[in-house]
Structure 1
Amino acid sequence: MSFTELVNIPAGINPNVSSAKQATMLSLLGNPRQSYDQECREVTDIRLASLITFRTVGRLRVRGLEPAVDSLERVLADIESDEPDIYAVMGHAGMLCARNVRGSNTSISNHSWGTAIDLTLEGVLDRRGDGRVQIGLTRIAPIFNAHGWYWGAGFRTEDAMHFECSDELIRQWHGEGLLDGLAPATVPDPVLSLGDRGPEVLELQRKLNEAGAQLVEDGIFGRGTHAAVMAFQARNGLSADGVVGPMTREALGL
């Protein structure tokens, strides 16, 4: 059996984890650099760079944020124990890569903080956006989820090769003091803002369209969604900052 055989995306993926929000990443980890494009760039923020590590974990040689690499090491140990045949054919196409999300000029990829990894099986990357996923990835995704990682098959544009530390895990690191020197003393409320993507953004766009917006429901919080949020806030007596916090969520019925 080939672990790269393609199957449909399973139901019920990513239980209890959500993709890391851009506001969470920027507020708790800082801004890796001041400008981004589609090319991989180096981290220029000195504080963040001090937490970047380059080492071997399991069968992979990776460069990423130290708490993420520590967590990945535990994930790989469980995969080696529970799915040894898949573990034996695992590789990766990168972890740290400061750039925008593919095709976006507003969304910073979580690779920019070294908290995401693109995996290969049998030397093959799962093709992004075809709605099909390698069967081997479906078997290791629950292990990643159990350690607080989000599987990119859950994005509107399926990205099954991609695993990233969830919003919940980033916040957990803050609570455990693993981000000392980077993070503020208090954790900001979860919000949706410019640059976010995923199922929560898709639901936001649906609610905005129900309220009269005419957005493409693509699950990406781009400038059109930002403008629609501001217009909704203004119509409903809310601060028109384009950020979806508790009051805007309540007004939208999210």
Structure 2
Amino acid sequence: MNLNDLKKVPRNINPGVRSAKLQTMAALLGNPRSSFDVDCQPVTNPTLKKLIVLEDVGPFRITGLKPAVDDLRIIFADVKANDPGLYAALGTAGMLCCRLVRGTKTGAISNHSWGTAIDIKINDVLDRRGDGKVLQGLINLAPFFNKQGWFWGADFGTEDGMHFEVGDDRIREFHKAGLFTGRSVVAPELALNIGDRGPEVRHLQERLNSFGSGLKVDGIYGPTTHAAVISFQAEKGFDPDGIIGPKTAAALGL
């Protein structure tokens, strides 16, 4: 099997793993900096900076959030023990990069900004984003990441096969374990908000369309989806805040 063969994105990926929501990241870790654009910029949040490390994770050294880097060491040790050929092919295009999500118009902050996402190369090849195909090596690698509670970006509305990020539940586990030193905050309720993306947003759009919203189902919680949520909430007599909390989710049948 050639690890660099291109394959269609498999079905039913990321079982039981949710992408990390921007509301969760900002609440538990704070904003990495006060302004962003599409280019990488440094972390300026002093509390977050204390959690950023440069360490060896097995196949390479990487800069990222300490608990996430520790997870990578566990993931890659598992790969090395169970698939040494795949382990030998692993490389990276980086982890920490304070920027907006590329290719979207929502102004959403990339999870790379917190050092909780990594882009993986296979035999020094980066998977092409958005073509609906992924390298075989990434397909083989995804279950190792999922096992540790990480989300594979091939499941985003715009396929991003090279991308793996700490899932929402795993971020909350880090917080509960006290690994975010200096952040004494309560974890927010699970919610969807503008800037989020992934299969949960696709499902939201499908449910809104069942009420006549006529949205493009692209898995991106952009301005059009946000407006449809506000309209739905207003019709139901809810606070039209554009956030999918428990009450709105229940009304939509999510």
| TM-score, normalized by the shorter chain, greater than 0.5 | yes
Aligned to 2:238: 238
Q: Deviations over 1:54-97 (max 9, x none)?
A: 12210211000000000001001001111111111110001000
| C-alpha displacement of 1:182 | 2.2
Partner SS, residue 93 of structure 1: strand
CA contact (8 A) 1:174 1:183 kept: no
Cα deviation, 1:19-71, whole Å, max 9, x if unaligned, reads: 00111001111111111111011111111111000122102110000000000
> What is the Cα deviation at residue 183 of structure 1?
4.5
Give 1:115 shift.
0.2
Counterpart secondary structure, 2:212:
coil
User: How far apart, CA to CA, are the structure 1 residues paired with 2:184 and 2:148?
Assistant: 22
Question: What corresponds to 2:224 in structure 1?
Answer: 224
Structure 1, unmatched stretches of 5+, are none
The offset of 1:223, in angstroms, is 1.3
- After superposition, give the CA deviation of every residue in 1:131-173 in whole Å (9 maximum; x if it has no partner): 1111111111101100111111111111110000000100011
Which letter does structure 2 place at the counterpart of 1:238?
Answer: F
d(CA) in 1 for partners of 2:138, 2:174? 26
Aligned partner of 1:201 in structure 2 is 201
Q: Quick check: 1:113 aligned with 2:142?
A: no
Deviations 1:160-196 (A, max 9, x none): 1000000010001111111131240x22110000110
How many residues were matched structurally?
253
TM-score of the pair, normalised by structure 1: 0.97
User: Distance between the aligned counterparts of 2:23 and 2:85, measured in 1?
Assistant: 38
**Aligned partner of 2:86: which letter?**
I
Q: Distance in 2 between matches of 1:233 and 1:106?
A: 23
Between the aligned partners of 1:34 and 1:223, the Cα distance in structure 2 is 22
**d(CA) in 2 for partners of 1:57 and 1:206?**
40
Calculate the aligned-residue CA RMSD, in Å. Answer: 1.1
> 1:196 is paired with a residue of what secondary structure?
coil
1:27, 1:183 within 8 Å by CA — same for their partners in 2? no
Superposition map of 1:129-148 within 5 A: 129-148=130-149
Aligned mates of 1:232, 1:86 — CA distance in 2 = 47
Q: How far apart, CA to CA, are the structure 1 residues paired with 2:25 and 2:222? A: 17
CA pair 203-51 structure 1, distance change in 2 beyond 3 A: same
Identity percentage of aligned residues: 53
Question: What amino acid is aligned across from residue 76 of structure 2 in structure 1?
Answer: L
Q: Residue 106 of structure 1: CA displacement? A: 2.1
Q: Residues 20-99 of structure 1: matches in 2 within 5 Å?
A: 20-99=20-99
- Give the AA of the match of 1:229: V
